Amino acid sequence: DFRYVQSEPQAYEFAKLYYPDVYEKIKEMVKEGKWEPVGGMWLEPDCNIPSGESFVRQLLYGKRFFMEEFGIETKIEWLPDVFGFSAALPQILKKAGIDYFMTIKISWNDTNRFPYTHFFWRGIDGTTIETFFPRALNQDINVRELREAWQRLQETGPAPKIAYLYGYGDGGGGPTREQIEKGKRFSKLPALPSLKFSTAKEFFEAIKGSENLPIWDDELYLERHRGTLTTQARNKRWNRKAEFLLRDAEFLSFFSGSYPKEKFDRAWKLVLLNQFHDILPGSSIGEVYVDSERDYREIFSIGEEIKGNALRILGERINTEGEGKEAVIVFNSLSFPRKSLVEIELPRGVKVNADCQRSGEKLLFSADVPPMGYRVYQVIEGEPEEGGLTVREDHLENDLFSLDVDDEGRITRLYDKLNDREVLSAPGNELLLFHDLGDAWEVEKDYEVKFWKLGKAKKQVMERGPLRGILRLEWQFGNSRMVQDLTIYRDIPRIDFVTYVDWHEKHKLLKVAFPVNVRARYATYNIAYGNLQRPTHRNTSWEQARFEVSGHKWADLSDSGYGVSLMNDCKYGYDIRENVMRLSLLRAPTAPDPEADQGEHWFTYALHPHTEGLNSTVEWAYDLNVPLIAKREGIHKGDLPSEFSFVSPEGVIIGAVKRAEDDDSLIIRCYEPLGRWTKARIKIASDIKEAMECDLLERPTGKVEIADDTLIFDVHPFEIKTFKLKV
């Protein structure tokens, strides 16, 4: 009667590679129905930090592996040990053909007991997925634990059956012969529920829900392991950079006509592997991060090689003729037109035909580029103008903002000139060092009791140009050093804090705080393919327990007419209480890795005051994370014009442009970022011969309207859409 359940296609692929004889026996057991592959994702990843597209690729690679190797399409997402779950997941799981979700981890809450065992989990777009929480993992088969599991079920709603996940130890949960024998014997005892050896599929089909199941409409927040949003910061940075690098490389490669799919597969599988729920959260031993760094070096090598080759091919095809003896082609991989800054190495005595500024050995210029396309600039003789923005040791100013800076490097006043608004209610850019006794997993609830400020900052004006101004701040504290370039721009409505830290603290947590002049009961946080509101007050125990929460590229605090967004390029831990916005920058736990986070770190956070709602926040946060790409090119004719857009969307953000898995079709994935219903359009710079809407595994689900090589479709709030096109 014995049945075995095993998740993670990555583990199967390792077995296939290193133990082929054992793998063939596994395949035989799967055919016999004694071994059940479960879970749709490539492995059991962290579910707070990966991007929306990373979740899609986890499912794309994972489900296809099981279908190709075993002829099985898994319908159960099996993530027992993961540290909380993004509210974007229900839609992503259902659009990948997953019907059921299982975890045990939310029962680990340190403050509140989760009210349900069997329920529908509803995500940000309204999609629901049937969910079951077993009591625990690797349970022994004994009378006490069986009775407690049954009692727990009765307290959270009547159900005829429960899943009891038995096994020995905490290293994989393999069962023992004794446990199997006890399971057979205990099924005959009248004081216990009847026991049956079964599969996960049989269990979920047996309890398949009804309309009476309760609904949980929120993220599945784990009231524990909050430190994993910050620990091992280098890995989190590499993950963010790798996700965007592969996105850019796929887009450029498809339209260049050179698409090395095997290399993309290798890079993506390494990204997915390093999103495992102890690697990416930072809760592994030190040896893991030696391996992980090696993997990321390979990812970046593959991605940069592919991107460089695509840029070379496109550069040769683009007509660069003009007034110069050389050209610079600026590529924009994002979904919207951008006016932003580009840095490129050019010798002194030349500039481009745009507003320029000299920055050391590099030329800085303002580029205006169409969405998902490029524009050619001419290199001409001459030197850029000097001066323009006001940058002093105590004051920075442009046409947008006026900032006063004190001796500690704090912004004591930030005035929004366009909107006649004081942005801060108290000094901002307040860097705070907290005494943090937690291990890699935990930020203790009372961590705020003991803290320090960094003290006086050494100041130096670094740039005072027409396009950008930089005031450098430097702190020495403890055994560490921080250097920060406080940066303002002529055309970019952000204040950037470009930061380097040589970090040698132990049991410390570094945060930055901005008390903003905004009253709002809810803050909005960017998550995978969408955003989520969370309360800023702490009325209930549920709200008090969420003293550290996840966010991706930005978090925002807005009233009905004005808001402030706190952005970053590689951080994930936020707390916003009342009007104080804080971002966690670095931790220094000593277990399980005594050297966690020691050494050098680079990151940027930014402040964006606005009156335009979240639309400007979404775009400027992407701009911070995905710089424009500049390529020097000789002067020549070409079949592509000097300015061009390959893909032009309206109403949606493009998450991926790639070649299809099984043929040379174009796959475009997009999402609605603001939480509103809209009629969206995506224009393709090619003849569309056929277009179908697909699920996340690229299987057609219906036709889409086409007019003038433009896809026209309705999109619901936060909805993800995938299209497959013959072009």
Spatial contact of 222 and 88, defined as CB atoms under 8 Å apart: no
d(CA 263, CA 301): 11
pLDDT of residue 157: 63
pLDDT above 80 (res 295)? yes
pLDDT of residue 189: 84
* Residue 453 CA, distance from chain mean position: 30
Choose among 61, 64, 68, 29: nearest CA to 42: 61
Q: 159: pLDDT confidence band, cut at 50, 70 and 90? A: low
Q: What pLDDT, in 10s, does the model give residues 459-498?
A: 999 999 999 999 999 999 999 999 999 999 999 999 999 9
Range from 87-96, 204-213, 582-591 carrying the lowest mean pLDDT:
204-213
Q: What pLDDT, in 10s, does the model give residues 641-652?
A: 999 999 999 999
Cis peptide before 158 (omega within 30 of 0): no
d(CA 58, CA 45): 8
Q: Which two tokens stand for residue 51?
A: 């991007």
pLDDT of residue 90: 98
Range from 182-186, 401-405, 657-661 carrying the lowest mean pLDDT:
182-186
* Residue 611 CA, distance from chain mean position: 26
Choose among 311, 339, 304: nearest CA to 633: 311
Parallel, antiparallel or unpaired: strands 468-477 and 705-707: unpaired
Q: 137: pLDDT confidence band, cut at 50, 70 and 90? A: confident
Q: What pLDDT, in 10s, does the model give residues 98-129?
A: 999 999 999 999 999 999 999 999 999 999 99
Range from 53-62, 210-219, 509-518 carrying the lowest mean pLDDT:
210-219
Average pLDDT, the chain: 96
Q: Where are the beta strands (DSSP E) in 280-400?
A: 326-332, 338-345, 350-352, 356-359, 362-369, 373-381, 390-391, 395-397
Q: What pLDDT, in 10s, does the model give residues 650-672?
A: 999 999 999 999 999 999 999 99
Catalytic residues: 81
Q: Which residue blocks in 476-579 are alpha helix, DSSP H?
A: 541-545
pLDDT above 70 (res 156)? no
Q: 158: pLDDT confidence band, cut at 50, 70 and 90? A: low
d(CA 149, CA 151): 6
d(CA 619, CA 337): 10
